[in-house]
Structure 1
């Protein structure tokens, strides 16, 4: 008789994926506190025992749900990093960052809400904190590479600043309603202003001048 530790069959893998989809739906719609084995079984349309077969407890479920979220967001992140990597100017960079923020806020699956639920949970669970930190650091490192090419003398610090601004804009605009044109414009103008200010700083203190000061 198969056990939960055996490699899953194709049908088993599909059922587990279905359960994780349901878990992410609950987290994004109702919050992490609303997630339980019983609510998950109801959402997935499965017997309670089927959920318990794949997940021994809520702790394991949260960990695997976060992993699933990270994997499913990976493609969007990779595409954004690739797009940012092609940015030829500060204005172009700001536009692409705006697209990234707006796309995340308009996701019908509430994946951004789920992401922030996981970030809150990371303050309580070291294993979730490690996973979320690694994911954010990967994006920050790629952004820093772009900023270095655009002339930043402090690319790591500037990348951290931009990511903090993005997080603030996401939180300010998290809502179940569709983004208005005014909100989208405000997001774009905020990121434009930030990148313009950084560009001025880069012009005043280019990497060559910084190296001369420390030589």
Structure 2
């Protein structure tokens, strides 16, 4: 096959890999979860994504751009789960149950999500340009909650979700899930 017979968008000796950029972003999240932001490098992400190191600069203008895209993907996926729970609720009782499920099951569903969330929070606290991600995340959360609750209650619930989830994840002692139900009921009582 001559170079003129190659499909458009392919280079000599390399197959077209339309999923490469996405794999790099996913690999970045994996490395952050394992090593933290401070331990994440182009070299480690490239190895995790199984791509040549040079591919990193082809797709991203530096580590900040990669981190921004990776954390945006992460926050968007968490927000989508949150929105799905709240959209499925049909009344105040099911909305309360959805908030409890978000806290107990969704927000930091596993250790990976917990670590990624804390890494994002820490980065956003130090680097204002990453606050656009956390601000968008909080805005989506509040919009989903406002499907069922007034703005003041929504702000309290949003803070409760973040705070209780962090406490439950980091507490050395297991907590009774009924505490979450009680807190949500108290905040949402009209």
TM-score strictly above 0.5: yes
Matches within 5 A, 1:157-172: 157-172=152-167
| TM-score normalized with structure 1 length | 0.70
> Which of the pair is proportionally richer in helix?
1
Give CA-to-partner distance per residue, 1:147-182, whole Å, 9 cap, x none: 2xxxxxxx222211111111122212336xxxx9x5
Matches within 5 A, 1:30-41: 30-41=35-46
Give CA-to-partner distance per residue, 1:86-120, whole Å, 9 cap, x none: 2342xx33322222123233337x13421221122
Please tell me whether residue 114 in structure 1 is matched to residue 116 in structure 2: yes
Matches within 5 A, 1:52-201: 52-84=57-89, 86-89=90-93, 92-104=94-106, 105-107=108-110, 110-147=112-149, 155-174=150-169, 182-183=174-175, 186=176, 188-200=177-189
Partner of 2:25: 20
Unpaired segments ≥5 residues, structure 2 = 1-8
Unpaired segments ≥5 residues, structure 1 = 1-7, 148-154, 203-215
| TM-score normalized with structure 2 length | 0.78
Instruction: Evaluate the alpha carbon distance shift between residue 19 and residue 101 of structure 1 in structure 2; reply closer, same or farther with a 3 A threshold.
Output: same
Q: Is the 8 A contact 2:153 2:188 kept in 1?
A: no
Instruction: Evaluate the alpha carbon distance shift between residue 119 and residue 56 of structure 1 in structure 2; reply closer, same or farther with a 3 A threshold.
Output: same
Instruction: Evaluate the alpha carbon distance shift between residue 52 and residue 174 of structure 1 in structure 2; reply closer, same or farther with a 3 A threshold.
Output: farther
Report the secondary structure of 1:27's partner residue.
helix
Q: Is the 8 A contact 1:81 1:139 kept in 2?
A: no
CA distance in 1 between counterparts of 2:103 and 2:184 reads: 15
Report the secondary structure of 1:32's partner residue.
coil
